[in-house]
Amino acid sequence: MDKDNLEGLIRRALDVRLKAYAPYSGYLVGAALMTSTGKIYTGVNIENAAYPDGICAERVAVFKAVSEGELHFDAVVVATANGGSPCGSCRQVLAEFGLDTRVYLVDQTGALALATTVAELLPGAFRPEHLGK
């Protein structure tokens, strides 16, 4: 990914992060997902008083993209206060659509905390080919 595209994705993740609904944890997360067609989908974490019913920013972005027919992703930027990493559920959802997807974790200033791939975040991922159709 070239520098301009990455900077644009970082800016989108930082901007959308401010729309997160996190009244319980106060931990705002924004995600910006770029598809192989160049479209960008954003997501935020959304908490709920019934704690298990919340959803992470990464999955919101993926589900938005999939609902629009996008199934191939190039990169995702996840913006948190401290450059935190995606949870296991988000890693699994990202793995469904490609282990080569690049993952960039940034803090609230946009500083890069980690550049990696889904495969590196989730070694031994359970994938569709494991289902023995």
Phi, psi (rounded to 5 degrees) for 60: -60, -45
Residue 97: which of 124, 55, 128 has the closest Cα? 128
Which of the residues 58, 96, 120, 129 is marked catalytic?
A: 58
Q: Following DSSP, what letter does each residue of 63-120 receive, concatenated?
A: HHHHHTT---EEEEEEE-SB-PPPPHHHHHHHHHT-TT-EEEEEBTT--EEEEEEHHH
Q: What is the spatial distance between Cα 55 and Cα 114, in angstroms, rounded to a whole number? A: 22
Edge-to-edge strands, sheet with 112-117? 40-44, 30-35, 73-79, 102-106, 112-117
Q: Which residue has the tokens 């080569």?
A: 100
Q: Catalytic: 70?
A: no
Residues carrying an active site annotation: 58
